[in-house]
Homo-oligomer: A and B are copies of this chain.
Amino acid sequence: MADVAEAILRSSAIAAQFGIWEERDFDAGRCPMRNVLDRIGDKWTMLVLMALAGEPRRFGVLLRMVPDISKRMLTQTLRLLERDGLVTRHVFATTPPSVEYRLSPLGLSALEPLHALAQWADANFATIRASRARYDDGLARTDP
């Protein structure tokens, strides 16, 4: 299929980009990969961004939407997203005050690559599960 050829082309594009990053030296403050991917590629950030995709959400709603996240980590994730300018925070003076989080234009722009990743995950989940099962079987067999 043409897919493979395309993948190889992409592959060299990525390799080239990696090379550029390498040259710029990987100093933690200067490398986009370490700064940006480390942040959005952590355990909860993608999930939170996706939970905010449809509409603004309140803290408590996010807490219920994102599976197994703790208050502590939700707070921290939202603070970092706010700091990076992907999310804005709005307090409403109700009692008790409620707080709404929404994606900024920058956050919105992050959805495109995230969506691509999510689709890939969805499309390949079955294959990956099968591979895991095969691998685990193989390991089990070499053991006794």
A→B interface (CB under 8 Å): 3-4, 6-8, 10-18, 22, 26, 31-38, 40-43, 46-47, 50-51, 53-55, 65, 67-68, 82-86, 103, 105-106, 108-122, 124-125, 127-132, 134-136
Contacts and interface: CB of A to CB of B under 8 A. Distances in A.
Contacts of A129: 35
Contact of A15 (B53, B121, B135): B53
Identical chains bound together, number: 2
B4 A35 contact: no
Contacts of A55: 15
A121 B37 contact: yes
A42 B37 CA distance: 10
Contacts of A103: 11
B11 A53 contact: yes
A9 to B, nearest CB: 10
Contact of A42 (B3, B41, B82, B106): B41
A23 to B, nearest CB: 12
A132 B39 CA distance: 12
Given A38-B43, A43-B38, A83-B136, A112 B10 contact: yes
